[in-house]
Amino acid sequence: MHPYHRELLLEIRKKGGKPVRDPFLENYLGNPHPIYKVNSPTLRKIAKTWVSGHRDVSADELAKLIRSLVLGKTCTEKMMAGILLDTSRKEQRTFDPGLFDHWLNHLIGWVEVDTLCTGRYPETEVPKQWTAWKKVLNKFSRSENIQKRRASLVLLCSPMRRNADPRLLDQAFKTIDRLGREKEVLITKAISWVLRSASVYFPGEVKKYVTLNESRLPKIAVRETLTKLKTGTKTKRK
């Protein structure tokens, strides 16, 4: 365990006591890991306080800390890896994107994957390090590990909501072409999410793509995306 991991875990334990098994949460979060009863705002506050007190931590050292956290025994520690990455300073995010390939080997379910793969890090670093990230995303989309296949989609969501970058749109369509016939909810929901994210800057292109490929896309993705384009939300208001 990395020394900084111990520091963060001490703060988590102050707020959440001992980790517990919760069958309801395990089913909802999609993983079998114990969890500390600490809510997300509290975890984010812990991370923000830690980053404020460790401004001199290098990108290499942050990457080592994230590795330690994803190897943790609890869902909370694994989520903290993503929250810390999201809270970190931009100078601390310049590590090799290929490290995600190792980190994702130790995550299970949507909450652990999405906490690591959405937020400020992908929003800024995926476009900035595009040559490296494109290789990683293509590798993930072909992986036998469903967590990595999901990551190949959700890593595009945050940057597409903030950047009118046609490279991201092209990558999203190519990845969906590859994964669009999968039936697992981890993938079908991610396809819907990435299409809705793309619609922020490319509504016409997204509508055309969904219309032309409706028969081979997950029904939930078609329904939620077309509703988003029409109403601004993924589900119809009652």
Domain coordinates in residue numbering, the chain: 1-117, 130-238
pLDDT in tens, 72-117: 999 999 999 999 999 999 999 999 999 999 999 999 999 999 999 9
- Ranges of residues in the chain with a pLDDT under 70 are 236-238
Residue 3: per-residue pLDDT: 96
Residue 40: per-residue pLDDT: 93
Alpha helices per DSSP H over 38-184: 40-52, 59-70, 75-87, 99-103, 110-117, 120-128, 130-141, 146-154, 157-162, 166-179
DSSP-derived letter for residue 53 is: T
Residue 85: per-residue pLDDT: 94
CATH number for the segment(s) 130-238: 1.25.10.90
